[in-house]
Chains A and B, each alone.
Chain A
Amino acid sequence: MSTLMETPTPERTAGGTARRSFWSGRSELIMPVLVAGLATWLAYETATMTVLGTSVPGPQFFPTIVCVLLYAVAVVHAIQVLRTPRLPDPTDDAENADFSSDLLGDLAHASEKGRRRIAGQDPKATLPTDWKTYTDWKTVGLVVGGIALFILVLPVLGWVFSAAGLFWIVCKALGSKRPGFDIVVSLVFAAVIQLAFNAGLGLNLPSGFLEGLL
């Protein structure tokens, strides 16, 4: 227990060690930037919209409200992140942001430990030192790339081969250790879907170069 307590919790005060740049713990700034970007696009589109009809309030009324709202939250959020940077915290892996853990903790009359569980915190977790980034971008990139590839080859290769390929890539990316066996699994999975849908529900999935054979 005592060793656990000595595990350093990542410091989140600004200007910690020299190794850390200004951006450490502030990557969340991407969110207010995205939200402000969305608001700007919305404002531009709203201002240049070709309005049909003469009803008042027209189609620009509601978007204007949303636009103001988005700018406001982007500014407040940016200030929050700038004032208190947050480094990835292994003890706080809050999975569910839909609900306030304080609210649920109060409703459950939870103890401090219970509250931590509601919030998804694990005080025993530690941050391995060999990570350069919190998110495993390589795996995410493989999955996103796999999906993009699937969309590109779907019209050419048809459902069975494209879907089997996507299944296989995602398996591999998520750490499957039997790539050979996975080829069989993915082909069977994709083929069963094609058969079930074309035959059973009359839904046409592209057959690609196998056109006429299937």
Chain B
Amino acid sequence: MEQLTMLFEGFGAALTPMNLLWVFIGAILGTAVGVLPGLGSAMAVALLLPITFTLDPTAAFIMFAGVYFGGLFGDSTAGILLNTPGNSSAIASTFEGHRMAKDGRAAKALATAAVGAFVGGLIATTLVVFFAPTLVKMATAFGPAEYFALAVFAFLAISSVVSESVVKGVAALGIGLVLAMVGVDGPSGTVRYTLGLPQLFDGISIVVITVGLLALGEVLHIAGRIHRDPSATKIEPNGRARLDRKDFRRALPAWLRGTAFGVPFGIIPAGGSEVPTFLAYGTEKKLAKRRGDAEFGTVGSIKGVAAPEAAGNATAGTAMGALLALGLPTSATAAIMLAAFQQYGMQPGPLLFERSGDLVWTLLASLFIGLVVLVILNMQFAVLWAKMLYIPRHYLYAGITVLSMLGVYAISSATLDLWVVLAVGLLGFIMRRYQFPLAPVLIAVVLGPLAETELRRALTVSEGDPSILVSSPVTVILYSVLALALAVSALQHLRHRRERVAGGAGGDGSGPHGGEGRGPDAGPAGPSEGAVAEERESSRV
């Protein structure tokens, strides 16, 4: 149990008053960006990166750990109270959570979500402690072809399998790859795509791209809609968020099931916690139906909140393991964490445990501390966090605009960076306008250089023979799984298109999955809806 000794040493390093303060600040910031709609941990870490560059790496990463998990703790608040989930990772827990809130059990829903996030994160992080060395051992056997296969897997899984439209996903991926290629080409020293600007020789900073796409892009998107869209009505939570023993006993199996769904998805590059949270929700729904649970889908079931929340944080936990041990970011947030390591001159992957072992174990220890701080913050002050939703939107987005400028200027005090971030912000805005996914851009920016270098390295070794790319069992397995996932996804798209066509012709849009029929909001589907759905479908592949 060498890991335990290392972990205890990590706790020793993390439990200094100063470091505890950083965990605390990170947890508060993380919860705040989670609670506020449209913001997430990825953007928060990107904004903090340049600002914290004067800190020592341990302190910075301890703070990022708090932000990393905090975003997933806070994101359910807006969903439960407003019915508008702050992030897509909270959509699944919003279904039952908002029903509970409407039923007057908002505080209980918030508590279930907080404890669920805690349980999921705790179990996943514990697993990482025990299995990280195994992952590292596996990763040391990886050569260029294997790393290239991993990158291709991540690219296609995120841009094609899980995204709304394949064409738009691949376009977003391509845009990200172009952004990543700007600057001096590492292996040959060739200057590429810099428009003759020496400031771009080092490439475009990932901070600039993330802040532009996620922060400024969001501000401009809101600006384009704020005078047009109606605002949501809010439910006031009353009392403290707490769970009695009975609730606890009911939620516990759901938390554990949710965690079981979340854990494997942390190491699969499928874009983060959306897929596992929905899987967890779907399972709870099926189980509720089998048991005849009348609360599910009507007044809101505690289990329907518990499972997705646990799944979300479990995914984040194991994603951290995959990032540290393999150097593979499985979600946009993990991609920014990877960029954070690179900013400090460290490369996550097998070597990180050797070279910066003390930092890694301190980081893992602070993930545990962060979880404890977060569950206390979110249980005790749930009502206070909900008050954040009262901040007038114009102050909120004005503040984000100014902080974006601050963060980008702090990188190197260069005005050019500010112009670039404005351009990327406009790109993010127009991509949102036409419903392009943003995650592929970030993944491409982070993994693009790795994919290119490893591909060229593999082909140099084989003297141009492409068969080297599929020469090992690991690569064959990765490509086969990817092909399978693409095929299943294509079938799914086709099936839904057929259903929509049929629904439009038959005049009832209820579809075969209309199992939620006993809910108060399950109304008869109108004749026009099938047609709408059909039209909608025609826009995608």
Contacts and interface: CB of A to CB of B under 8 A. Distances in A.
Chain A partners chain B: yes
B188 A70 contact: no
Interface residues of B, number: 118
A193 B509 contact: no
Contacts of B439: 98
B134 interface: no
Nearest to A118: B91
B226 interface: yes
B223 A100 contact: no
B382 interface: no
A58 B464 CA distance: 11
A136 B281 contact: no
Interface string A11-50: 0100000000000000010110011001100100100011
Interface string A98-125: 1111111111111111110111010100
A186 B216 CA distance: 18
B516 A142 contact: no
- Describe B's contact surface by its main secondary structure: helix
Given A12-B535, A97-B435, A140-B220, A113 B415 contact: no
Nearest to B531: A9
B54 A59 contact: no
B282 A107 contact: yes
B536 interface: yes
Contacts of B158: 98
Interface in A168-214: 168, 170-176, 185-186, 189-190, 193, 197, 201-206
A114 B516 contact: yes
A144 B422 contact: yes
A117 B515 CA distance: 15
A98 B274 contact: yes
B515 A174 contact: no
Contacts of B516: 110-111, 113-114
B492 A106 contact: yes
A129 interface: no
Contacts of A69: 170, 173-174
A137 to B, nearest CB: 7
Nearest to A92: B536
Nearest to B426: A144
B450 to A, nearest CB: 11
Contact count band on A: 35 or more
Contacts of A96: 88, 164
Nearest to A185: B395
A99 B395 contact: no
Interface stretch (B137-145, B314-322, B452-460): B452-460
Contacts of A42: 178, 193
Nearest to B415: A151
Nearest to A146: B401
Contacts of A111: 510-511, 513-517, 519, 522
Contact of B88 (A98, A105, A114): A98
Interface of B: 51-52, 54-55, 88, 91-92, 95, 158, 161-165, 167-168, 170-171, 173-175, 177-178, 181, 185, 187-193, 216, 219-220, 222-229, 271, 274-275, 278-279, 281-282, 285-286, 332, 392-395, 397-399, 401-402, 405-406, 409-410, 413, 415, 418-419, 422, 425-426, 429-430, 432-439, 451-452, 455-456, 459-460, 464, 489, 492-493, 496, 509-511, 513-517, 519, 521-523, 525-529, 531-532, 535-536, 538-539, 541
Interface of A: 1, 4-5, 9, 12, 28, 30-31, 34-35, 38-39, 42, 45, 49-53, 55-59, 61-63, 66, 69-70, 73-74, 76-77, 80, 83-84, 86, 89, 91-94, 96-115, 117-119, 121, 123, 128, 131, 135-137, 139-140, 142-144, 146-148, 150-151, 154-155, 163, 166-168, 170-176, 185-186, 189-190, 193, 197, 201-206
